[in-house]
Amino acid sequence: MDIDPRFGLPNEEDVLEEIAKSDQKISVSTVSRRYGKIITLVSGFDKSLDIKATAKKLKEELACGGTVKDGIIELQGNHKKSVRAVLVKMGFPEDSISD
C-alpha cells in the first residue's frame, strides 16, 4: 500500500481496492473436463476488481496454467485446498471464501 508523502495517508486507489476485496463472496470448486482433467473454478468476483491480475497472481503462486472466462478464473489441476491460502495472502478476507 502506497502512502501519500504529503498527507501520510494511503493513496485513494489502494483504499478502494481494499474495500473491493472485502466485499467479495468467492467460491472455489472443481470440475472434471474432457479426458478426466480436473480444473479449479474460482468465481464470485465483482466487476470492480481486476480479475486478470488476480488470476495471474494465483497462477504464479500455484505454478499452474489457467484463464479467465466470463468473470470466472479457471486453473488447471486440483488446487481447491491451496487457493484459499493464496487468496488470504493476497488480501481477501478468509470468511468471504467458501469451498
Using alpha carbons only, what angle is made at residue 60 by residues 58 and 66, rounded to the nearest 5 degrees? 60
Q: Which of 2-6, 65-69, 84-88 has the lowest mean pLDDT?
A: 2-6
Q: Rounded mean pLDDT of 77-85? A: 92
Q: For the chain, list the domains and their CATH numbers.
A: 25-98 (3.30.780.10)
Give residue-wise pLDDT tens across range 7-17.
566 556 556 56
b/e burial code for range 80-93 (CB count within 10 A of at least 16 → b): bebbbebbeeeebe
pTM of the full structure? 0.78
